[in-house]
Amino acid sequence: MQNIIGFHYTLKDKNGEIMDSSRGRPPMLILTGAQQIVPGLEKEIIGMKKGDTKTVIVAAKDAYGPVQEQLMMTVQRSQFPPEADLTVGVQFRVNNDDQQGIFTIAKIDGDNIHIDGNHPMAGKELHFDIEITEKRMPSPDELAHGHAHGPGGAHH
């Protein structure tokens, strides 16, 4: 059975450094079973009730997966269009026969541009401080759309 679950989260890496938080924003609102959050987190929060708090530790394999070496590449500056913004941190979409996905410019070394197609959180163990703020049945519309409606969910 699918549920709507609202929750606040603070995401830390394993050294306790905060990477993201919903505090100060509406809680995140998800429809369970719709692959809206990493599977290792959903598995834990589906058993929690409104008002429950918990620290959930999700291994990299249950979050964004391991770092894939083959997604870290060096390409020549001349392979980019002349108008491209070649700055560390810039993201661009690649869509060709060999690769597709979002790549980030990781390092620039003269004409060698090091790019990385891994998710920024790939290879990281994630620590979530969770507080459940809402738990209810989905409406027929929410089930049909495959997402939650309202603050923190979809607006339309």
Closer to Zn ion at the Cβ: 6 or 117? 6
Residue 114 binding Zn ion, by CB under 5 A: no
Residue 19 binding Zn ion, by CB under 5 A: no
Closer to Zn ion at the Cβ: 81 or 140? 140
Residue by residue, DSSP assigns 90-133 as -EEEEESSS-EEEEEEEEEETTEEEEE-S-TTTT--EEEEEEEE
In this chain, which stretch among 6-14, 33-41, 66-74, 142-150 interacts with Zn ion, using CB under 5 A? 142-150
Q: How far is CA 125 from CA 1, 15, 35, 74, 87, in A?
A: 29, 10, 19, 27, 28
Residue 146 binding Zn ion, by CB under 5 A: no
Closer to Zn ion at the Cβ: 3 or 21? 3
Q: In what order do the strands lie in the sheet with 91-95?
A: 72-76, 112-116, 100-109, 91-95
Q: Which residue type does 30 have?
A: I
In this chain, which stretch among 76-84, 105-113, 124-132, 145-153 interacts with Zn ion, using CB under 5 A? 145-153
Closer to Zn ion at the Cβ: 6 or 40? 6
Residue 150 binding Zn ion, by CB under 5 A: no
Say if residues 99 and 114 touch (Cβ distance below 8 Å).
no
Which residues of the chain form contacts with Zn ion (CB under 5 A)? 145, 154
